[in-house]
Structure 1
Amino acid sequence: MSETFALSDVPGAGADRAPEDRGTLDVKARAVESILCRAALDVDGSVAHSAGVGPLGGRNLPTAAVTFRGSIAVATLDVGAHWPCRAEELAATIRDTVRVEASRLSDTEITRVDVTLHVVPGSGDQSRPRRVL
């Protein structure tokens, strides 16, 4: 009859090892991209936008792409915003907030975040009355 045991029963294979000896955590690009998008939406002035229904529509915002060069990451981020807004100021705030927050949450050094703002329809300019036919 074979004896059953758990991996934690093997000496040096579980919680009895020091944390630095237990291995590493590799954060994949997709996880960092999700963190970037979430952090971008936390900035006042950025908005989520869904363009269309399912795969038939256009692009959903925000979107992110991350490129790793060793342990260093470079990110591009597309974010929606209602017009009028202070675009340069909003993009800079998003860039700085996202870099700090995503680096903290993913334990990845993000050296650059390129932000592109996209004007999306919504509650931006409500000063003119709408004409309904």
Structure 2
Amino acid sequence: MTETAVEPGERGSLEIKHKAVERLAVLAARSTDAVTDRHPGLRVLGGRELPKADVTISGTRVRAKVDVAVTWPAPLAEVAANVRAAVARDLSELGIYTVDRVDVTVQCVPAETATDDEGRVQ
């Protein structure tokens, strides 16, 4: 029995589920300096965990909206630009999608918590 070679374009495809793409965007945001998942009281107020991503996929095109919490006193514009770049890079590295846009919103800037070594003023 002789097998004929199948053309590369006819061999199959890779499908990455929508939730997996959102998870990759969250992981990219979380790996960015000054992005934190420490946000005391935020769950009580809005029930949301950060970072959070919402992606829209249309064929091979992706748009992402990412919400983050940023530690004080990090420069917000710089952190947002770094998150935007990290999400675009990580989603593009899948080799499947072209990232059209990444919108980043800083939802929370939690105050730094005092360490045990620091004194307290009463």
Same fold per superposition (TM over 0.5): yes
Partner of 1:39: 28
The alignment covers a number of residue pairs equal to 116
Alignment of 1:54-73 (within 5 A): 58-73=47-62
Higher Cα Rg, which structure: 1
Q: Does the CA-based 8 Å contact 1:81-1:117 persist in structure 2? A: yes
Match of 1:25 among 4, 14, 28: 14
Q: Does the CA-based 8 Å contact 1:52-1:58 persist in structure 2? A: yes
Q: Does the CA-based 8 Å contact 2:50-2:67 persist in structure 1? A: yes
In percent, how many aligned pairs have the same letter? 35
Q: Structure 1 21/77 Cα, relative in aligned 2: closer, same or farther at 3 Å?
A: same
Partner of 1:96: 85
Structure 2, unmatched stretches of 5+, are none
Structure 1, unmatched stretches of 5+, are 1-10
Q: What's the CA shift string for 1:85-117, capped at 9, x where partnerless?
A: 200011001101110112203631111000011
Partner of 1:129: 120
Shift of 1:21: 3.2
Q: Structure 1 102/49 Cα, relative in aligned 2: closer, same or farther at 3 Å?
A: farther
Q: What's the TM-score once normalised by structure 2's chain length?
A: 0.76
Q: What's the TM-score once normalised by structure 1's chain length?
A: 0.71
Q: Structure 1 52/119 Cα, relative in aligned 2: closer, same or farther at 3 Å?
A: closer
- In the TM superposition, structure 1's runs of 4+ consecutive aligned residues that sit over 2 Å from their partners are 16-22, 49-53, 118-131
